Amino acid sequence: MSRGVCLVTGASSGLGAETARQLAARGWDLGLCARRQDRLEALRDDIVARTGRRVEVRALDVTDDAAVFDVVRDLRATLGGLDRVVVNAGLGKGAPLGTGRYDANRETAMVNFVGALAQVEAAMEVFRDQRRGHLVVVSSVTAVRGMRKAMTTYAATKAGVAVLAEGIRHEMLGEPDLDIRVTTVFPGYIRSEMNEHLSRAPFMVDTEVGVRAMVRAMEDEKEQAFVPAWPWVPLGTALRHLPLGAVRRMT
């Protein structure tokens, strides 16, 4: 029996691909989007073989505004509605500001914030029309404070999408006729292609373990969740309130 239909962006690898696998195992039918069509098709075939769930895939560059709306509308029509949209597509490029790599910082900003804005707009268009839905925005534990060096722009974009999600949650409090719920997930260090270059990172967990915590937060429809809860709930609180000198030593 289907739990519903979930669209996941950035699903060709890393956290997005594992999120798709775990949601399918829990009974969700899926719409999967990413730039790499070949990887999406391989993931679809694997999920269908393992779970028998329905999986539709579409190639999508989230910086192509028109394509974002077209793909979300198409998947809604093809799958007969969307119960949940997971805004996950992201990029980890970056360099210290003022060091000649504006191109990398701009690309990260365009994918992680402007691209996320387009995805949220498209999802909310569907949810408002349906009068129901569950929006999940994947932020980062780095969103709680300004970060240094290559992380500065990345952290700023993740703070931006968290505030975007909170703004929608705030708005929905005044819309009792709309059953639209919003979850913001703040992952800590979860191994993925984005961070595989890191020789070491504090409290890094394997992809499957970290995504299991993410999916649990989605399924519980929490408003906000630091994942995995240990150690990121206490560390997230510490990062938010400690002096920058102490934050520097932790990160």
- The angle formed by the CA atoms of residues 151, 154 and 156, to the nearest 5 degrees, is 105
- Short-list 43, 238, 76, 10, CA closest to 145: 238
- The angle formed by the CA atoms of residues 209, 227 and 116, to the nearest 5 degrees, is 105
Give the integer Cα–Cα distance in Å for 24 and 52: 9
Active-site residue 189, yes or no?
A: no
- Short-list 178, 165, 171, 170, CA closest to 218: 165
Q: Which residues pair with 178 in a beta bridge?
A: none
Q: How many Cα atoms sit within 13 Å of 184 on the Cβ side?
A: 21
Q: What is the DSSP letter of 222?
A: -
The contacts of residue 150 (CB under 8 Å, 6+ apart) are 94, 95, 96
The residue type of 42 is A
Helix, coil or strand: residue 198 = coil
The residue type of 31 is G
Catalytic residue among 28, 127, 154, 226: 154
The residue type of 112 is N
Going along 69-220, which residue ranges are E strands? 84-87, 132-138, 179-187
Residues labelled catalytic? 154
